């Protein structure tokens, strides 16, 4: 195994992600940030310098479990202090498992500002993937607003709430086309055909392929808001990986991908080689008007890289939840992967509701909306500091009388920074229960992401979860291991994980505005077993004061 060093500077800069010039948060002058490529077992060392001038910084390595390095998880107020302007923080962690990952800002709404990039881990030398391919591509999906992130954030924190609205563009590897359409020649409306120089910042990254080969396409989504569906014109795909874990290969026509998820698919270039073929990423789950699909295409060599003349590939209708559920249920673990313990030691029920606190709109879990403390939990819990956060743990369950089909009868919630304390090596089940939002007949999709772990997805269902009715239907035989899972409108999802990774881990909705509005919980897992937290990770707030006292005797 190797140690791979990176020196990164994060700064705001002018960029044209969708052909319109704007300000994005870039790394070393690039948007998206540089791709990290490593092999399983390698150690990654990122020297991250904050050149933002006016705000703190933190980068989370999404899908990397951070065994033995919980302070490198990159979550401001949770695993570390935000990195101050002009300061450098060193992230050092092991990438122990091959797979498709990414990284992104985890302070405020820096992901929406464009702070993200890809992290791809290949199998270790001498190891083989359980499938074959001739070449590979990587697509990181994101969504983009013309309104800057501060305006978005103020809108979400205002009374009345000013909703950010739909993104203007869907980006593939940071590239979209707002004021022109790659597909305009197909006659869909008013937008003019793009005449893009191949070196324009918003020019699509075309996938050049040879006929009759098999390719691996890695896809990850770091969208702020959008749920997407990816399709390749004329080509079938075979899903083989989800969130860095192998799955039983399954053929699909298109892929649903929620924020926080990643997949690998294989496709074979067996179509008419005289043509090129579209790849589209369309928004779903939200009522139109929505942004046009993000586009690029397969360029069969030796054809010229001109846009395809065919129609765009078909994605399911935006509100076809049945298609999404059937897609989700197709994903099971590859034979031979670890199966879950058959029993849980603890069960936590989390009711997802939209609420009001003093007239501000919030998202809450068991009626508690998450606010983060100024001292990172990892340090304050390890050093047993009093008063650094609310010492009352949030509720483990909710009333069985709650009617998930209607808006909350009592919409008032409370704010708290309390944590769930989790004992070492216990098996924990979490039942995520969706509900109706504040408006009648609205229930949204929420992709939940767990830090520090993969979990088994034991099942999805409709309505209110009931142990009697649904307990027996859970999949303990071959549930997929993942780090992100969706709860469908008015539905429930059950996951199981083993608390084998001491640290403080966020579990939250990966929709950035939702997290900002409180949609998350904190698991404080066997923190007494965490050893040697570097001082610089927690030199702020109460832990910072503690260091000062210690040093001055
Ligand atoms: Cu990719 Cu806490 O998130
Ligand atoms: Cu959400």
Q: What whole-number distance in Å separates Cα of residue 352 and Cα of residue 517?
A: 12
Ligand 1 neighbour 450 (Cβ under 6 A): no
* Residue 439 per-residue DSSP state: S
Q: Report pLDDT digits (tens) over 460-492.
A: 999 999 999 999 999 999 999 999 999 999 999
Q: Residue 373's pLDDT is what?
A: 98
SS3 62: strand
Q: What is the pLDDT of residue 186?
A: 57
The rounded mean pLDDT for the chain is 96
Contact between residue 103 and residue 139 where contact means Cβ atoms under 8 Å apart: no
Structure confidence by residue, pLDDT tens digits, 366-402: 999 999 999 999 999 999 999 999 999 999 999 999 9
Q: What is the distance in A from the centroid of ligand 1 to the CA of 301? A: 38
Closest residue to atom 1 of ligand 1, CA basis: 62
* Nearest ligand 1 atom to alpha carbon 104: 1
Residue 179, pLDDT above cutoff 80 = no
Q: How far is the CA of 483 from the centre of ligand 2 (A)?
A: 15
Query: Per-residue pLDDT tens for 102-111?
Result: 999 999 999 9
Sheet holding 99-105, edge to edge: 36-39, 116-122, 99-105, 59-62
Q: What pLDDT is attached to residue 182?
A: 86
506 lines ligand 1 (CB under 6 A): yes
Answer yes or no: is the C-beta of 514 below 6 A from any ligand 1 atom.
Answer: no
- Evaluate: CB of 260 within 6 angstroms of ligand 1: yes
Ligand 1 within 6 A of CB of 508: yes
CA of 384 to the centre of ligand 1 (A): 26
Nearest CA-CA partner of 424 in 498, 481, 483, 495: 498
pTM of the full structure: 0.97
- Starting from the CA of residue 513, give the closest ligand: 2
Region 229-234: what's the mean pLDDT?
98
Q: Which numbered atom of ligand 1 lies nearest the CA of 515?
A: 2
In this structure, are residues 163 and 286 in contact, taking their beta carbons and an 8 Å threshold?
no
Q: Each residue of 292-327: pLDDT tens digit?
A: 999 999 999 999 999 998 889 989 999 999 999 999
Q: Which ligand is nearest to the CA of 76?
A: 1
Contact 71, 122 (CB under 8 A): no
Q: In this structure, which ligand is nearest to the CA of 445?
A: 2
**Exposure of 546 by Cβ count < 10 A (0-12 exposed, 13-18 middle, 19+ buried)?**
middle
Q: Which ligand neighbours the alpha carbon of 509 most closely?
A: 2
Question: Given phi > 0 = left and psi -120 to 50 = alpha, else beta, which region is 169?
Answer: beta
**Number of residues that this document lists for the chain:** 553
Q: Is 218 in the pocket of ligand 1 (CB under 6 A)?
A: no
Residue 189 has pLDDT above 80, yes or no: no
pLDDT (0 to 100) of residue 429: 98
Ligand 1 atom having least distance to the Cα of 63: 1
Q: Give the nearest ligand 1 atom to 62 CA.
A: 1
Q: Determine if ligand 1 sits within 6 Å of the CB of residue 496.
A: no
Q: What mean pLDDT is predicted for residues 399-415?
A: 96
Q: Give the pLDDT confidence score for residue 550 in this predicted structure.
A: 81
Ligand 1 atom nearest to 259, measured from its CA? 1
514 Cα to the center of ligand 2, angstroms = 5
ipTM score assigned to the predicted complex: 0.98
For residue range 34-51, list pLDDT tens digits in order. Answer: 999 999 999 999 999 999
Q: What spacing in Å lies between the alpha carbon of 423 and ligand 1's midpoint?
A: 23
């Amino acid at each position: 195994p190797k140690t791979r060093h990176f020196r990164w500077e994060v700064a705001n800069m002018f960029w044209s992600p969708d052909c319109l010039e704007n300000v994005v948060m870039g790394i070393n002058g690039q948007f998206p940030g540089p791709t990290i490529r490593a092999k399983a077992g390698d150690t990654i060392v990122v020297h991250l310098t904050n050149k933002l001038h006016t705000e703190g910084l933190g980068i989370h390595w999404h899908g990397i479990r951070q065994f033995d390095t919980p302070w490198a998880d990159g979550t401001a107020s949770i695993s570390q202090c935000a990195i101050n302007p002009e300061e450098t923080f060193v992230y050092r962690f092991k990438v122990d498992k091959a797979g498709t990952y990414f990284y992104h800002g985890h302070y405020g709404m820096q992901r929406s500002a464009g702070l993200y990039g890809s992290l791809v881990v290949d199998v270790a030398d001498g190891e083989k993937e359980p499938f074959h391919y001739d070449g590979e591509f990587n697509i990181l999906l994101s969504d983009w607003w013309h309104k800057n992130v501060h305006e978005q954030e103020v809108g979400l924190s205002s009374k009345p709430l000013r909703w950010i609205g739909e993104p203007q563009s869907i980006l593939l590897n940071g590239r979209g086309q707002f004021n022109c359409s790659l597909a305009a020649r197909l006659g869909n409306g008013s937008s003019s055909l793009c005449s893009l120089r191949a070196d324009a910042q918003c020019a699509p990254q075309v996938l050049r392929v040879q006929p009759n080969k098999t390719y691996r396409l890695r896809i990850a989504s770091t969208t702020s808001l959008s749920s997407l569906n990816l399709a390749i014109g004329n080509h079938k795909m075979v899903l083989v990986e989800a969130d860095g874990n192998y799955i039983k290969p399954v053929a699909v026509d298109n892929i649903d991908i929620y924020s926080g998820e990643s997949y690998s698919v294989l496709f074979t270039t067996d179509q008419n080689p005289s043509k090129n073929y579209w790849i589209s990423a369309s928004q779903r789950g939200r009522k139109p008007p929505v942004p046009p699909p993000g586009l690029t295409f397969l360029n069969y060599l030796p054809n010229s890289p001109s846009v395809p003349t065919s129609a765009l590939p078909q994605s399911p209708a935006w509100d076809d939840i049945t298609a999404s559920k059937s897609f989700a249920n197709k994903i099971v673990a590859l034979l031979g992967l670890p199966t879950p313990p058959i029993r849980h030691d603890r069960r936590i029920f989390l009711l997802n509701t939209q609420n009001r606190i003093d007239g501000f709109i919030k998202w809450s879990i068991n009626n508690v909306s998450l606010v983060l403390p100024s001292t990172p939990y990892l340090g304050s819990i390890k050093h047993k500091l009093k008063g650094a956060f609310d010492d009352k743990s949030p509720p483990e369950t909710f009333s069985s009388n709650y009617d998930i089909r209607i808006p909350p009868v009592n919409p008032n919630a409370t704010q708290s920074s309390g944590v769930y304390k989790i004992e070492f090596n216990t098996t924990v089940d979490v039942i995520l229960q969706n509900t109706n939002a504040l408006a009648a007949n609205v229930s949204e999709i929420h992709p939940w992401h767990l830090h520090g772990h993969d979990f088994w997805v034991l099942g999805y269902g409709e309505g209110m979860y009931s142990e009697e009715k649904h307990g027996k239907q859970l999949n303990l035989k071959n549930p997929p291991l993942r780090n992100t899972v969706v709860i469908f409108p008015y539905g429930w999802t059950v996951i199981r994980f083993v608390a084998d990774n001491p640290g403080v881990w966020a579990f939250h909705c990966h929709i950035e505005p939702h997290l900002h509005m409180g949609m998350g919980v904190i698991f404080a897992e066997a923190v007494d077993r965490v050893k040697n937290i570097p001082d610089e990770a927690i030199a702020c707030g109460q832990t910072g004061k503690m260091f000062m006292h210690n040093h001055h005797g």
